[in-house]
Every structure is written in C-alpha cells, then in structure tokens.
C-alpha cells in the first residue's frame, strides 16, 4: 500500500476516533465549553505551531550541514515539511521520504541522508526525556515514562556507537519490506550517523529538541487556559503531556493515535478536569500540536509533487 494511502487511512481513523470521543462525552457540556473559549489565545497558538516546526527544521538543516549536505534553504524547508506530513506513519517511518526527495532532486546518496532521519528520532527521544525528567516532581507517573524512554534512548545510543550491533539490527530490519530499499544505504552510513550524535552538533540538536517540546507543552498549556482551566501549572502540564506522548511512542501506532488521546484525557481527569472537558481539550491539543503541521505538510507534498514521486518509487521497488 502506498504511503499516501496509508496516511489518508490514518487521518480518517483519527477523525472517527475524535467523533467517538465527542459522542461518548456530554455533547451539551462540550458545546457550552467551546462557546466559552477565549479566542484571544488562538493567534498565539497559531504562531507557536510554525515556530516549533522551524526549530525542528533548523535541527534538520544543521544535521545535513554537519554531513556536508548543502541545498537551498527554501527547497530544504519544503522537503522537511513533506517529512513532517509523513510523521503520521507508524514509527515515523514515512519520514524516510526526505531521503528519496534529496536523492531524486539533488542526487544526494541515500547512505548520506538516511542516517540523519534516524538521528532526528534519537534527538526527539532526548528532548522528550528531558521534559519528562523536569516534571517528575510535578507528576509522579512521569517516573515510569522516564525509565522507559531512558532505556530506549540508551539502547539507540549504544546501537549507533557499535558498528557490529548496528549492522545486525539493520539486517534484521531488512526482512521488512518497508525498510528493504534503505537497508544497504543504512549499513554504509554508520559513520555519518555516529558523527551526527557527537560534539557540537549533539549539544545544538539536543537544545533544539528540548526547545521544541517546551513549545509544544506551551501550546497545550495555552489551550487549557483558553478553555478557562488555570489550576494546572505549566511544568505539571508539560510532564503530563510528554508522558502521554511517550506512551504513544511505546505503542508504535501512527503518532500514537488513540493511545496519546486516551492517556492524556485520563491524566487530565486525574488532575481534576471533568472527562467530557478533558476529551475536548485533548482533541484541540492534538489538532494544534500535530495535525496542524501534518496538514501544512500534506499541502506542501501536493505542490512539490511528492505524491507522484512516492508512487513511482513504489512501482520501481
């Protein structure tokens, strides 16, 4: 099945899930709460979303430069947005489309760019781990998320730094059709990957990753305030939000759909918010922290012809 078809199915499934959430909740209560929303927060939320994208783009751009890959910033940003749209695939596997775009448009060898996509996911884990650690004293359940993601980050770090372990893992992944065409490139790219997680680039990328998750947490915080929820402090919410994201990562579902929403709604309810309002807040949070960017990425994908590129790749593989 083509990546774009999978993405459409994920979007449809998410819409059904959100509608189900609303049906299960008290519709009259939700309607009344939405009417009370303070729209003065909306412009700030809409601006913070793109700021978070630019932070991740800057990380992507610097990682490319660290590997001596230099392409025009404008075109690179479009490629990044396409990858952002494909982040809605399981395990963000679809982000490998950036590798194909760089190869087809700029003749960048896949072995040079594929490891950078892997490095991005490593930095995502580091960033979310930092925020979760910050919130341990504000949300006790975060300790379990910290342990889980800490173990995962350590394994990935060990994987990257051990060529033998790395090659065995890649060979294991090669049995999966979706990874098969990238296997040879990944095996040849261990040095690039290792250079992406050490020295100055490690510090810079880590700071950018932490900044991204702080901004996402701020968006969630402002959404709560726009609905008149002022009792939850920022650090408490950031720990709550990132913990639900970690649970979604562990599920390996596309963007943790269903798992993130359900766990976050449960956590908000734990903090004293009525479940009907909690589910409404979760939907708004996910729209502005995830689906906002995915939508912009899909539009970009259409304009630069990434759908047709993806289809042609599928036919040739």
For residue range 215-230, list pLDDT tens digits in order: 999 999 999 999 999 9
pLDDT beyond 90 at 209:
yes
Of residues 11 and 310, the one with the higher pLDDT is 11
pLDDT band at 285 (very low <50, low <70, confident <90, very high): very high
Of residues 121 and 90, the one with the higher pLDDT is 121
> What's the rounded Cα separation, in Å, for the pair 88 and 90?
7
Percent of the chain with pLDDT over 70: 85
pLDDT tens for residues 29-42? 777 778 888 999 99
Domain that holds residue 199: 3-316
pLDDT beyond 90 at 163:
no
Average pLDDT, stretch 121-138?
Answer: 86
Of residues 228 and 304, the one with the higher pLDDT is 228
In degrees, to the nearest 5, what angle opens at C-alpha 103 toward C-alphas 99 and 108? 100
Q: How many C-beta atoms surround the C-beta of residue 190 within 10 A?
A: 20
pLDDT beyond 70 at 158:
yes
Of residues 178 and 192, the one with the higher pLDDT is 192
pLDDT band at 67 (very low <50, low <70, confident <90, very high): very high
If one counts the domains in the chain, the total is 1
Residue 222: what pLDDT?
97
pTM of the prediction? 0.84
Q: How many C-beta atoms surround the C-beta of residue 316 within 10 A?
A: 7
3-class secondary structure per residue, the chain: CCHHHHHHHHHHHHHHHHHHHHHHCCHHHHHHHHHCCCHHHHHHHHHHHHHHHHHHHHHHHHHHHHCCCCCCHHHHHHHHHHHHHHHHCHHHHHHHHHHHHHHHHHCCCHHHHHHHHHHHHHHHHHHHHHHHHHCCCCCCCHHHHHHHHHHHHHHHHHHHHCHHHHHHHHHHHCCCHHHHHHHHHHHCCHHHHHHCCCCHHHHHHHHHHHHHHHHHHHHHHHHHHHCCCCCCCHHHHHHHHHHHHHHHHHHCCHHHCCHHHHHHHHHHHHCCCCHHHHHHHHHHHHHHHHHHHHHHHHHHHHHCCHHHHHHHHHHHC
pLDDT band at 44 (very low <50, low <70, confident <90, very high): very high
pLDDT beyond 80 at 81:
yes
Average pLDDT, stretch 244-270?
Answer: 84
Residue 218: what pLDDT?
97
> What's the rounded Cα separation, in Å, for the pair 176 and 19?
34
In degrees, to the nearest 5, what angle opens at C-alpha 109 toward C-alphas 155 and 180? 55
Average pLDDT, stretch 233-239?
Answer: 91
| 285 touches 69 (CB < 8 A) | no
Residue 315: what pLDDT?
42
| 64 touches 113 (CB < 8 A) | yes
| 66 touches 195 (CB < 8 A) | yes
pLDDT band at 149 (very low <50, low <70, confident <90, very high): confident
Of residues 263 and 16, the one with the higher pLDDT is 263
Average pLDDT, stretch 88-94?
Answer: 72
pLDDT beyond 60 at 316:
no
Mean pLDDT estimate for the chain: 82
Average pLDDT, stretch 312-317?
Answer: 41
């Amino acid at each position: 099945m083509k990546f774009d078809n999978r993405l459409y199915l994920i979007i449809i499934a998410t819409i059904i899930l959100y509608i189900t959430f609303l049906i299960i909740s008290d519709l009259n209560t939700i309607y009344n709460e939405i009417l009370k929303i303070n729209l003065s927060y909306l412009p700030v939320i809409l601006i913070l979303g793109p700021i978070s994208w630019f932070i991740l783009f800057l990380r992507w751009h610097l990682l490319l430069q660290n590997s001596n890959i230099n392409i025009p910033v404008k075109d690179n940003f479009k490629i990044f947005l396409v990858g952002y749209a494909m982040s809605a695939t399981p395990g963000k596997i679809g982000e490998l489309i950036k590798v194909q775009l760089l190869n087809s448009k700029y003749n960048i060898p896949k072995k040079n760019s594929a490891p950078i996509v892997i490095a991005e996911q490593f930095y995502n884990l580091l960033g979310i781990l930092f925020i979760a650690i910050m919130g341990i004293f504000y949300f006790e359940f975060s300790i379990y998320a910290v342990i889980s993601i800490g173990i995962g980050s350590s394994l990935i770090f060990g994987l990257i730094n051990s060529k033998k372990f790395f090659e065995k893992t890649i060979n294991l992944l090669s049995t999966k059709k979706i990874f098969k065409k990238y296997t040879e490139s990944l095996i040849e790219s261990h040095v690039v990957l290792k250079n992406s997680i050490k020295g100055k680039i490690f510090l810079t990328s880590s700071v950018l990753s932490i900044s991204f998750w702080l901004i996402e947490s701020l968006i969630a915080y402002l959404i709560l305030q726009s609905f008149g929820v002022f009792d939850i402090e920022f650090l408490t919410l950031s720990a709550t939000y990132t913990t639900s994201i970690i649970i979604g990562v562990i599920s390996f579902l596309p963007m943790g759909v269903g798992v993130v929403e359900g766990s976050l709604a449960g956590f908000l309810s734990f903090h004293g918010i009525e479940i009907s309002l909690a589910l409404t807040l979760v939907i708004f949070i996910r729209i502005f922290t995830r689906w906002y960017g995915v939508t912009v990425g899909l539009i970009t994908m259409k304009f630069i012809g990434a759908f047709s590129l993806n289809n042609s790749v599928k036919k040739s593989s």
